[in-house]
Amino acid sequence: MAGLGRAALLLSLGLVVYALVAGSYAAWRRRRRLALSAQNALLASFVSTLVAAFVLWSALARRDFSFVYVAEHVNRSLPLGYTLAAFWGGQEGSLLLWLMILSGYAALAVWLNRRTRDLIAWVVPVLAGVAVFFAFMLCFVSSPFKTAPAPADGAGMVPSLQNPYMLAHPPLLYLGYVGLTIPFAFAMGALLSRRTDERWIVATRRWTLAAWTFLGVGQLLGAHWAYVEIGWGGYYAWDPVENAAFMPWLAATAFLHSVMIQEKRGMLKLWNMVLVALAFCLSIFGTFLTRSGVINSIHSFSQSPLGGWFLGFIVLVTAFSVTLIYVRLPLLRARTKLESLVSREAAFLYNNLLLVAFCLTILWGVAYPLLTEAVRGETRTVSKPYYNFFLHSFGLPLLLLMGIGPLVAWRRASLRSLGRIFLVPLAAAVVTGVVLIAFGFGSSTPGLLAYTFSAFVAASIALEFWRGTRATGSLLRLVARNRRRYGGYLVHAAVLLFAIGVAGSSAYQTVRERGLQRGQSMAVAGYTLTYEELGARQEANAVATRATIDVSRGGSHVTTLYPGKNNYPVAPGGPQTSNEVSIYHDPRNLGDVFLIADQIDKNGTLYLKALVKPLVNLIWAAGFLFVFGSLVAMWPDAVEQRRLAERYAAGAVAA
Amino acid sequence: MTLGLIVAAVLAVLAVLFVARPFLREPAPASDLLDEPGELERRRLELVEERDRALLALKELEFDHRTGKTTDADYRALVGPLRRRAAAALQALEPRAEARHERIRSPR
């Protein structure tokens, strides 16, 4: 079977190399049949990559330890779900997942846009170029189909990966990372074919939104995974690999906003090209960080030979994008100008500047250790205060802009109209601020600002829906007529919930830590935690030790929690121990009582860390609203589709 | 191993046939040129995009006015130029549309 996997990957490589070379020649020399043939090669590469993926999944399911990849990532006691998820648990499998998603996306995008032949003729070689890199890596640098004499049992999976989120978080992130290739390929295809009209934007609008949604949801699932599994009491640690997914998401967020300005006003053509290229380069950079092991991170499971290849590819992609954009500059000049600094489009522009500035400061923080090591020979890292400073500096104004932007009219707004429109949101913000200070929440300035701004944004979103409903006569009609706008507002509401959750759980959290003997208690934020007993049980692949903690408030029993540790006798690199936290979701404040058994002594002494995190559950609730809002925005609009079909009908005939 | 190689060989043959399909279906086509929009078509597309932008801007302005975001004075100042822009784009498209219809009607 390994032979079939290797052959399928070699076939994929051959097909995408053909699609790159023949496709480029066909697009350059205007050869119709050759261009179609290159398209077919790209479609066929998806099938051969699927065959390779099937071979690996089959080997994992059969626990065929003659595959080195299988022997290194699973063992016989690992449950089947995690065994199959080991496909993306290691470097080689992740690369195969990248190629599989890329070739699938590429096949679908080419098929859906096959009528726009002049544009797609150039899109095919760009997509193929990216696929060539990954197929080459899989064939010659990091093959999942290496074989060796089979050991009696495999090394197993890293304990922290043995979590249900392992089944969803990595593939969702990859769906997002890889999805950004499609808008990039269409943007570069538009530049190469000199078709800098809106065709490429229309073709990729939903792709970008879908990739952005996948990235967002993937990160949120990763945050929840870290929260319940890693056992340090937080959900985001500014880890380089977490940042690696956050940066392309920020760049894509900026693009999703600025592309609207191009569609509505014909402005920012150059800026949009830059953002698409930036988002794609950052997605490759993210994969490089995760898979190269170049920066110490809990996500970088191994040092690998991939670093140099990835770095070379990133340099190549950046040089290609910059050169192409520079050569086509005359085609990217805007014909209209910003009419006023107080307008919807100006608000979008400020939002873009803040998002990109935030993205670049994070990039600097991530790259800083690499640069210091290269220049000074010693690794220096930037830590949480650096990122938090920029989160407050850029995040809070962004939050405020989320409320200002929708209220301001397009083109220009007079001071009189602004005063009238902002009256209600401003009043909501002031009242919220005063009430919070009165109730003693002024202890954290960022927290207070976040809540005050949130009240402003919430009022502005509610006002938008109310005014729109009044104007159209029905909420459903309002949303149906402009799904993108009102879907976007729902996403804004999700971001708002997220911001409230983050502010509450970080600025106003309470942390207590102490050693307890059986029968002893500790108090934290109104709760009393009593250590009752300690027990151990054998699970499928670990020994689980759990402390029993009674949680009470005001003398009344609330719940019983069981923090502890799992000991995995079989794990990569030898036996490992993981923290198993226990959480009580308090419906009163939408927060959590979060218990960590930091240390358990042989005599039964428990060093318990307790965190009370108000409003933290709003972060996870925001995820559902985020997906719902994205779906509303993505949902096809029959009227718009008819308009676009009419617009490009003659173009299709000509093409 | 043998079965794997047979499957791989079949896959490779099918892939080659699929890639060669455009040449197998049309061994000697009348034209093998990949069409691209000419200057006239590109200009038409620009005008259609301009028309759509102007009409959309008018729609947005009407909506902003109805929802109170744009004052009466701002509305009056903005609506005139936008209508003129939309009318200019529609007018610029008109002769081309007629010419195209003419071309379709006339026998080749």
CB contact at 8 A, A22 and A38: yes
Q: Given pLDDT bands bounded at 50, 70 and 90, which one contains residue A511?
A: very high
Q: Which residues, including other chains, have CB under 8 Å from residue A582's CB and lie 6 or more apart?
A: A549, A561, A562, A563, A564, A595
Query: What pLDDT was estimated at residue A502?
Result: 94
Which amino acid belongs to residue A271? Answer: W
Q: Where are the domains of chain B?
A: 37-105
Q: List the single best residue of B6, B70, B78 to mutate versus A (max A Cβ within 10 A).
A: B70
Rg value, chain A, Cα? 27
Query: What pLDDT was estimated at residue B101?
Result: 52
- Picking from B18, B38, B66, the nearest residue to A654 by CB comes out as B38
How far is C-alpha A49 from the geometric centre of its chain's CA atoms? Answer: 24
Task: List, as one string, the DSSP characters of B44-57.
Answer: HHHHHHHHHHHHHH
How many whole angstroms separate alpha carbon A288 and alpha carbon A171? Answer: 16
CA distance B105 to chain A (A): 16
More confident residue, A73 or B102: A73
pLDDT tens-digit readout, A561-606:
999 999 888 777 778 888 899 999 999 889 999 999 999 998 889 9
Task: Determine how many CB atoms are found less than 10 A away from the CB of residue B52.
Answer: 19
Q: Which residue of B has its CA nearest to A35?
A: B34
Query: What pLDDT was estimated at residue B41?
Result: 82
pLDDT tens-digit readout, A309-356:
888 999 999 999 999 999 999 999 877 788 888 888 899 999 999 999
pLDDT tens-digit readout, A519-575:
999 999 999 999 999 999 998 778 999 999 999 999 999 999 999 999 888 777 778
pLDDT tens-digit readout, A376-397:
777 788 888 999 999 999 999 9
Which amino acid belongs to residue A530? Answer: T
Size (chain B), residues: 108
User: Do B15 and A4 lie within an 8 Å CB cutoff?
Assistant: no
**Token match 């190629």: residue?**
A99
Q: Give a three-class secondary structure readout of A76-101.
A: CCCCHHHHHHHHHCCHHHHHHHHHHH
Query: Which structure tokens are listed for A464?
Result: 């938008």
Q: List the single best residue of A6, A33, A43 to mutate versus B (max B Cβ within 10 A).
A: A33
Chain B CB within 8 Å of residue A266 CB: yes
- Picking from A18, A31, A412, the nearest residue to B19 by CB comes out as A18
Q: Where are the domains of chain A?
A: 1-157, 158-332+348-376, 510-613
Query: Which structure tokens are listed for B17?
Result: 């046939």
| Interface size, chain A vs chain B, as Cβ–Cβ contacts under 8 Å | 159
How many whole angstroms separate alpha carbon A160 and alpha carbon A212? Answer: 26
Task: Determine how many CB atoms are found less than 10 A away from the CB of residue A494.
Answer: 23
Is the CA virtual torsion A40, A42, A43, A44 positive or negative?
A: positive
Does residue B107 register a pLDDT over 50?
A: no
Assembly ipTM: 0.83
CA distance A378 to chain B (A): 49
Indicate the Cα dihedral angle A107, A112, A118, A121, nearest 10°: 0
pLDDT tens-digit readout, B1-60:
688 889 999 999 999 999 999 999 998 888 888 887 777 888 888 888 888 888 988 998
From chain B, the residues in CB contact with A195 under 8 A are 37, 42
pLDDT tens-digit readout, A89-116:
888 999 999 999 999 999 999 999 888 8
Q: Which residues, including other chains, have CB under 8 Å from residue A17's CB and lie 6 or more apart?
A: A128, A132
- Picking from B20, B45, B52, the nearest residue to A651 by CB comes out as B45
Closest CA to A151 of A53, A57, A52, A69: A69
The A591-600 sheet, strands edge to edge: A510-516, A606-613, A591-600, A582-586
Query: What pLDDT was estimated at residue B100?
Result: 55
Query: What pLDDT was estimated at residue A298?
Result: 45
CB contact at 8 A, A135 and A16: yes
Closest CA to A609 of A594, A626, A588, A624: A594
